[in-house]
């Protein structure tokens, strides 16, 4: 489980402060209700879907302001993370936060999911490289699975946080030939979905 000692909590506070600082310049989280602490808490829910081991490779697809990737990097320095978003301004901010927080287990790159999947991105180095792909509800589940299938190692997992009624998404996703199993765990209005790949 997560490392919740005082040092990680201090790092979470530092992340919160940096995001608030950056959010005044670039819209990373809603300016109407920029409760970064809620987003950090949501990111911690991903811990329930990942079997953390030293050397795991995790891809955060559609990271935005670094959720959940930076929170995972703070609590689990033993894993390697790549945080991806299609918006260069957001990736510049996330890169700055990673550097200022000295998160040596994380890196940020700009790219679209479709480009990652095509194999032309980074000379195909991302293909079948990741143990887990994590994502905060950036697309419907079947699209997330389609994007993840060529990035995940055989037997890897997609972990995503969804809200609302996802029955239809689950039903459509179960029929995909590369999906082995789907697990759901509810946390209030949030649903953590873990998809096992063949």
pLDDT at 169: 95
CA 11 to chain centre: 18
Residue with the two structure tokens 């993370």: 81
Beta bridge partners of 157: 132, 196
pLDDT at 2: 56
pTM: 0.91
Q: Which residues of the chain have pLDDT under 70?
A: 1-4, 30-34, 117-125
How many domains is the chain partitioned into structurally? 1
Q: Name the CA dihedral angle for 112, 100, 9, 4, rounded to a multiple of 10 degrees.
A: 60
Q: 1 lies in a domain?
A: no
Q: Name the CA dihedral angle for 94, 98, 100, 103, rounded to a multiple of 10 degrees.
A: 170
Q: 121 lies in a domain?
A: yes
pLDDT at 6: 85
pLDDT at 128: 84
For residue 173, what are the domain limits?
6-197
Q: 43 lies in a domain?
A: yes
Q: How many CB atoms are located within 10 Å of the residue 20 CB?
A: 13
Task: Report pLDDT digits (tens) over 81-100.
Answer: 999 999 999 999 999 999 99
* Total residue count of the chain as it appears in this document: 198
Name the nearest CA neighbour of 49 among 2, 91, 12. Answer: 2
Name the nearest CA neighbour of 63 among 20, 2, 131, 111. Answer: 111
E strands present in 15-169 = 57-61, 80-85, 106-110, 130-135, 152-163
pLDDT at 1: 47
pLDDT at 43: 96
- Residue 117 host element (H or E): helix 113-118
Pairing of strands 130-135, 57-61: parallel
Q: What CATH number did the domain enclosing 113 receive? A: 3.40.50.150
Q: 167 lies in a domain?
A: yes
């Amino acid at each position: 489980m997560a490392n919740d000692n005082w040092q990680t909590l201090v790092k979470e506070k530092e992340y919160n402060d940096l995001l608030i600082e950056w959010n005044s310049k670039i819209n990373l989280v809603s300016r109407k209700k920029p409760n970064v602490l809620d987003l950090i808490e949501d990111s911690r829910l991903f811990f329930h879907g990942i079997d953390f081991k030293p050397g795991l490779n995790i891809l955060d697809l559609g990271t935005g302001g670094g959720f959940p990737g930076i929170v995972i990097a703070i609590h689990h320095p033993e894993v390697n993370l790549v945080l991806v978003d299609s918006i260069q301004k957001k990736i510049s901010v996330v890169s700055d936060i990673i550097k200022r927080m000295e998160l040596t287990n994380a890196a940020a790159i700009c790219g679209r999911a479709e480009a990652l999947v095509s194999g032309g991105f980074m000379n195909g180095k991302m293909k079948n490289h990741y143990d887990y792909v994590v994502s905060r509800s950036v697309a419907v589940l079947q699209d997330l699975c389609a994007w993840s299938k060529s990035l995940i190692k055989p037997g890897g997992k997609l972990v995503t946080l969804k809200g609302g009624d996802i029955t239809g998404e689950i039903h459509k996703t179960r029929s995909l030939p590369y999906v082995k199993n789907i697990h759901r765990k509810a946390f209030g209005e949030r649903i953590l979905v873990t998809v096992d790949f063949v």
